[in-house]
Structure 1
């Protein structure tokens, strides 16, 4: 997926998610490993309430790459 397409997908229904996801993309994307980039793109396919719940620690993300992406966003 091209960076412009990813940037478009950063526009979410929740302003808080817009800020968190865009901040990671702007600050980490260029130096992220391919596996981190893939996990981030996969995360963007998830529903906003799920992402928010995982980021806030209200629920646990599925184990694997999505959990790693959430951990990276929380740092």
Structure 2
């Protein structure tokens, strides 16, 4: 039985559902980043990701589509990490054709 009720599992489920924005473009960037990179981030970057997903969709869209960048340095750093992850050749297999 894989019913993990640990605090880490609960946090991971919350992060997953908060990363699903219902906007296809955001989902394509946030979900793969969460699944493939989040666990390898240091504590500060994990906290930045958790704070980022509490932002409004229109702000996330503008930042992740590189129309503008967050002014706050920590937020800018995590946004850049997500964008770079999406553009990396290693992530090409996860992009739609």
Same fold (TM over 0.5): yes
Q: Secondary structure at the match of 2:37?
A: helix
The runs of at least 4 aligned residues of structure 1 exceeding 3 Å deviation read none
Q: How many residues align?
A: 75
Cα distance between partner residues in 1 of 2:44 and 2:31: 18
Question: How far does the alpha carbon of each residue in 1:10-43 deviate from its partner, in whole angstroms, 9 at most, with x for none?
Answer: 1103111112100100110111101110000110
2:53 to 40, 44, 57: 44
TM-score by length of structure 1 reads 0.90
Segments of 5+ residues of structure 1 without an aligned counterpart are none
Q: Secondary structure at the match of 1:2?
A: helix
* Greater relative CO, 1 or 2 (CA 8 Å, sep 6+): 1
Would you say 1:54 and 2:67 are equivalent positions?
no
Answer yes or no: is the 8 Å Cα contact 1:20–1:73 preserved in 2: yes
TM-score by length of structure 2 reads 0.72
Answer yes or no: is the 8 Å Cα contact 1:13–1:48 preserved in 2: no
Would you say 1:30 and 2:69 are equivalent positions?
no
